[in-house]
């Protein structure tokens, strides 16, 4: 991944092949555009992988603000990032549970779901999740919009017991679309 201090891939730039826990310690004030050359990455609002999460897949992000933009939440920065450990698309698998601590009704997911309700999940929330294989992005709203949470088999043994574990700024169990992450 190559990150740039200005929009449209201008200004100071740095290339990374592994995680960066604080872009300012690498001598860059801020990130305004990004080019992902390979792999899938997760970017974080704060250093040390804290705060809001953003999935970054192969392609060009000429205006970080436009990409991350969310009127309900104005502080938008990209301060740290790391690669995501994905499985092959076909073998990605997770279970979502109605209640926290893996209780209540559940459903196994092994595809992309732009609307969980359309596939039969009756509520706009998820209580807890277990990623069996691969990595997924979960979104607050249908159609892959709103707050994002990256869920990986390789982290926390794939266990996400409570919405407070989904991300350091997560404030709601609302999840309405989920998709697999692939390289």
Question: Considering the complex, what minimum distance in angstroms separates the CB of residue 69 from a copy of itself?
Answer: 3
User: Measured between alpha carbons, how far is 156 from 139 in angstroms, rounded to an integer?
Assistant: 19
| Residue 116 engages a copy of itself in binding (rule: CB under 8 A) | yes
Cα of first residue to Cα of last residue in the chain, in angstroms, is 13
| Residue 47 engages a copy of itself in binding (rule: CB under 8 A) | no
How many residues touch a copy of itself under the rule CB under 8 A: the total is 40
User: In this chain, which stretch among 15-23, 67-75, 79-87, 160-168 interacts with a copy of itself, using CB under 8 A?
Assistant: 67-75
Strand order in the sheet with 93-99: 103-109, 93-99, 128-133, 159-160
Neighbours of 56 (CB within 10 A): 22
The structure tokens listed for 174 are: 């609302």
Where along the sequence are the contacts to a copy of itself (CB under 8 A)? Answer: 36, 55-61, 63, 65-73, 76, 112, 114-118, 124, 137, 140-146, 176-177, 179, 181-183
């Amino acid at each position: 991944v190559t990150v740039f201090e200005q929009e449209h891939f201008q200004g100071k730039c740095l290339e990374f092949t592994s995680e960066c826990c604080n872009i300012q310690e690498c001598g860059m004030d801020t990130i305004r555009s990004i080019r992902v050359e390979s792999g899938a990455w997760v970017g974080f609002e704060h250093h040390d992988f804290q705060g809001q999460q953003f999935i970054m897949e192969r392609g060009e992000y000429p205006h970080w603000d436009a990409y991350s933009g969310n009127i309900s939440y104005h502080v938008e920065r990209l301060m740290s990032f790391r690669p995501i450990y994905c499985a092959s698309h076909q073998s990605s698998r997770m279970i979502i549970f109605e209640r926290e601590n893996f209780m209540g009704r559940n459903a196994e997911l092994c595809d992309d779901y732009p609307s969980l309700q359309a596939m039969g999940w009756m509520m706009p929330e998820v209580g807890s999740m277990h990623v069996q294989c691969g990595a997924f992005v979960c979104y607050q709203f249908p159609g892959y919009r709103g707050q994002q949470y990256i869920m990986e088999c390789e982290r926390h043994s794939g266990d996400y017991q409570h919405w407070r574990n989904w991300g350091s700024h997560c404030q709601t169990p609302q999840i309405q679309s989920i998709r697999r992450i692939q390289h």
